[in-house]
Amino acid sequence: MANVVVVGAQWGDEGKGKIVDWLSERADIVVRFQGGHNAGHTLVIDGKTYKLHALPSGVVRGGKLSVIGNGVVLDPWHLIKEIQTVKSQGVDISPENLIIAENTPLILPIHGELDRARESLSKVAKIGTTGRGIGPAYEDKVGRRAIRIADLADRATLEARIDRLLLHHNTLRRGMELDEIDKVSLINNLLEISPIILKYSAPVWKILNEKRKAGSRILFEGAQGALLDIDFGTYPFVTSSNVIAGQAATGSGIGPNSIDFVLGIVKAYTTRVGEGPFPTELDDNDGNRLGKRGHEFGTTTGRKRRCGWFDAVLVRQTCATSGVTGISLTKLDVLDGFEKLKICIGYELDGDKLDYLPTAADQQARCMPIYEEISGWSESTEGARSWADLPANAIKYVRRIEELIDCPVALVSTSPERDDTILVTDPFED
């Protein structure tokens, strides 16, 4: 039985939430393996909308085990609030269907404060952070001073961890003219919520390996997109974790040989939130039309997304770095009614032609797209559930994308509704 990793293959917001929910019907376990609550997934099921940030998308389905892996950084106060919100919508959440890795690092209030302070004080280009403390929390993890869920079970251990953490943070805060952290208040706040969080805590690596050996189907869910990967994204305008498929293994404690299919989620055009290079960005009527029809506003921040034509160069690159087996092409219906469509097939940089995005930030900013024009379609694709429901030119567009990114299409999504999906290849049966 196949285990599937789902990753965003652009700058995030590709529609992973719907696809993960759609695939979760075939899975037994859904695992979130990186990122924080800066990511947002919107699910529309039977007309009801769920907005998830920290919880895996599988929680809205009964009979599935949802897992938050050690590769995630977790704001426990946000998690408690999100659980309460989702419960109020009629979804059952308990330690029976949600577990969190014991070695998951926590996002504390001091992380968000530091995040926002650094961004506001920056005299150089802003990164475009959401200000929710994800970056500083990952810094503390790498600096070996993070507070992890297991630390909440013992006050003496927690106090020792807090002492090490504050030695670093109070030094930073003095330099930024911020008040030092009240140690007693921080400890008391953590101890107050620890009974709630600890009841979900478990040795995730052990459980997942046992479930895999027993034949369970596991779906690994990533956040953001591969172009925001800390190593392979448009650095420094990236997130603070590895986003590509390899992180599914290290972010959950399961071996890479347990991954059978990597599904890359790809929007039929391109969007980006925040700062950074964007070769195919449109500042014209076409760009506004894409944003309006695609409802391109961030689930977490509400920020307007930048919109542009499909960039085959970038998607081919992310398919390579994540080892994508097949893609899920989403929001095809947003392109309905365009007389002509453009696809970026290469870049021109200082007179040279490139078939990849260079690493250097200054070169990325100077890359000019080379376009191929393709005929659009006037018919509606919204709600299509088979190839026969698609206009001929829409099929040509999909097939051309396959050729340009050197990767087959496994799924096509034609609306936010979970069942409006064309299945070409079932990742769990590959």
The 3-state DSSP class for residue 88 equals helix
- CA 52 and chain centroid, separation: 11
Contact present, 427 and 410 (Cβ < 8 Å): yes
Residue type (1 letter), 375 = S
Q: Where are the alpha helices (DSSP H) in 263-311?
A: 285-293
Catalytic amino acids? 13, 41
Q: Nearest Cα to 308, choosing from 289, 280, 335, 345?
A: 280
Cis peptide before 195 (omega within 30 of 0): no
Distance CA(407)–CA(402), nearest Å, equals 5
Rounded to whole angstroms, what are the CA distances from 78 to 74, 75, 83, 134, 197? 8, 5, 9, 13, 11
The 3-state DSSP class for residue 5 equals strand
Rounded to whole angstroms, what are the CA distances from 210 to 2, 213, 296, 366? 15, 5, 41, 50
Distance CA(159)–CA(310), nearest Å, equals 51
HSE-CB at 79 with a 13 A cutoff on CA atoms is: 28
Distance CA(275)–CA(328), nearest Å, equals 26
Rounded to whole angstroms, what are the CA distances from 369 to 11, 236, 362, 405? 17, 21, 15, 16
- CA 353 and chain centroid, separation: 31
Residue type (1 letter), 181 = I
